[in-house]
Amino acid sequence: MEDRLMVSVSGVRGTIGGTLTPHIACDFGLAFARMLKAGAAGARPTVAVGRDTRRSGDMMFNAVAAGLTAGGVDVIDLGVVTTPGAALATSRLKAQGGVVITASHNPIVYNGIKFLQPNGAGLAAPAAQELKKIWEAGQFDLSAVENVGVQRAETRTHGWHVDAVCEMVDLKTIASRRFKVVVDSINGAGCAVTRLLMEKLCCKLDQINGEPTGQFAHTPEPIRENLDQLCQAVRKHGADVGFAQDPDADRLVVVDENGVFIGEEYTLALATAFALSHRKGKVATNLSTSRMIDDIAAAAGQSVVRTPTGEANVAAAIIKHGCVIGGEGNGGVIDPRVAPVRDSLVGMALILQYMAQTGKKLSELAAMIPHYVMVKTKFPCPAGVAPAVAEALMREFSSRKDAAFNTDDGLRIDLPEAWVNVRASNTEPIMRIMGESKDQAVVDALVAQVRRVADAVIASAD
């Protein structure tokens, strides 16, 4: 697979020892400092910086912090924290911006830099583009010695995070059930804070891969093929539910009481079903998330706002439309009462309260949601080819009068019997195809047709 530095609305991603070097990280720190100072009206900005447990995290933190302080920005070192924890701390500390050193679900060879607004949300697309232009131009402002930024440490993030999550749920109701919970924390940033949350919720916790070493026990993306250990542990311990986090603990995947992986799309669906059962309002999600969300919202008399893929896009829609909940079908739940980012702790708390209030098992709650079959595939894609793939697909499906096209995020094609979305990833040098239908054969055929067209375009571009 091609190794290239990814710079997008999702931040910066690259390989350590490859495309993401300390020099690049320092330059991005300088670029962020210049951008923040331009809007600071003479005051010295402060940036809160957290990181996940990757071995390269300290190195990347030091490089980014060097750029920020050299550019005249003070740095608050949050240490090893979750991405939602860093977002919450950025807001609580009234910082002018935030940074998280993480590559989220990517393999250990990767690391990344995610930039946050003062409210904790990721940079909106225009700001992300501005930051990229400053970095590409390399025109940084180095501060004189008397104006160089300073660093200080902040250790309260985990406590703030747990308290904020607990404030939005009924602790007494959850605690009364004394749930048995297994959590796979992948030796990532969620290890310690998850234990604190489960203690507050009076759950009996069996945590696997619960030491924050950064030595991931399996491929870190929380999808079915990587979670055999969790499924077996749920069955072994007779647990009520199993949860899997990714390395920065913003994504959450759920395993039912039978040790059955029920699909990453169900995380947001279950949380939304519970949220809309007692709160009324719109829901925001991206264009590649399951139609389950539309069905759940419609049953509650509510509507769904669809956005391009990217957490920052969903968060912006939540804020703009006053949504009560939102997120992405990759296991990302956003509750704006905590922070405008995906949050595995929020997902756990909402699902546990749903189980507690209804008295139903997780498998029963999942069975209440209209079922679809979703197929997700990915493959290497050269830079700049995605628009040509979209054009070829529009020609391919132009003869179908019942086809609707949406180009807000790559290309989404809606048909009466199914939908498919094809787009270039924001975080990896790949293209993703996602399709959904109530019929396995229909979605398999649709995804295969799209893949054939994409392969032909890519082959002609080589």
**Would you state the pLDDT for residue 1?**
52
Could you read off the pLDDT of 315-324 as tens digits, one per residue? 999 999 999 9
Cβ density class 335-357: b for 16+ within 10 Å, e for less:
bbebbbbbbbbbbbbbbbbbbbb
Please give the pLDDT value at position 409.
Answer: 87
Domain edges within the chain:
6-155, 160-367, 373-461
- From the candidates 10, 56, 91, 104, give the one annotated as an active-site residue: 104
Comparing CA positions, the residue from 221, 231, 273 lying closest to residue 255 is 231
Local confidence band at 2 (pLDDT 50, 70, 90 cut-offs)? low
Q: What is the pLDDT of residue 84?
A: 98
CATH T-level fold of 6-155? Alpha-D-Glucose-1,6-Bisphosphate; Chain A, domain 3 (3.40.120)
Tell me the pLDDT of the chain averaged across its residues: 95
Please tell me the predicted confidence (pLDDT) of residue 360.
98
Confidence band for 252, pLDDT divided at 50, 70 and 90:
very high
205 has a pLDDT exceeding 90: yes
Q: What whole-number percentage of the chain has pLDDT above 70? A: 99
Q: What residues contact residue 41 under an 8 Å CB cut-off, 6+ apart?
A: none
Among residues 24, 74, 69, 16, the alpha carbon closest in space to that of 44 is found at 74
Catalytic annotation on 104? yes
Identify the CATH homologous superfamily for domain 373-461: Alpha-D-phosphohexomutase, C-terminal domain (3.30.310.50)
Listed in sequence order, the residues at least 6 apart from 179 whose beta carbon sits closer than 8 Å to its beta carbon are 201, 203, 204, 240, 241, 352, 355, 356
Domains 6-155 and 160-367 share a fold: yes
Given this model, what pLDDT does residue 264 score?
A: 92
- The pLDDT of residue 367: 97
pLDDT of 436 over the 70 cut: yes
Is 80 exceeded by the pLDDT of residue 41? no
Residue 359, φ and ψ in degrees, nearest 5: 70, 10
pLDDT score of 251: 97
- pLDDT above 90 for 430: no
Q: Which of 37-46, 53-62, 350-359, 443-452 shows the lowest per-residue confidence on average (mean pLDDT)?
A: 37-46
User: 269-288 in b/e burial notation, b at 16+ Cβ within 10 A?
Assistant: bbbbbbbbeeeebbbbbbbb
pLDDT digits (tens, 9 = 90+) for 370-386: 999 999 999 888 888 98
Q: Are 231 and 262 in contact (CB under 8 A)?
A: no
pLDDT at site 358:
98
pLDDT tens figures, 273-302? 999 999 999 999 999 999 999 999 999 999
The rounded distance, in Å, linking the Cα atoms of 329 and 291 is 10
CATH of 160-367 given 3.30.160.60, 3.40.120.10, 1.20.120.420, 3.40.190.10 = 3.40.120.10
Which helix (H) or strand (E) element contains residue 123? none
Q: What is the pLDDT of residue 427?
A: 76
Average pLDDT of span 64-91: 98
Kindly indicate the confidence band of residue 309, based on its pLDDT and cuts at 50, 70 and 90. confident
Give the rounded percent of residues in the chain with a pLDDT score beyond 90: 90
Report which secondary-structure segment, H or E, holds 190: none
- Give residue 67's pLDDT: 98
Q: Which two tokens stand for residue 274?
A: 């519970």
Of the listed ranges 93-107, 208-222, 375-389, the least confidently predicted one is 375-389
How confident is the model over 57-65, as a mean pLDDT? 98
CA atoms of 46 and 44, how far apart (whole Å): 7
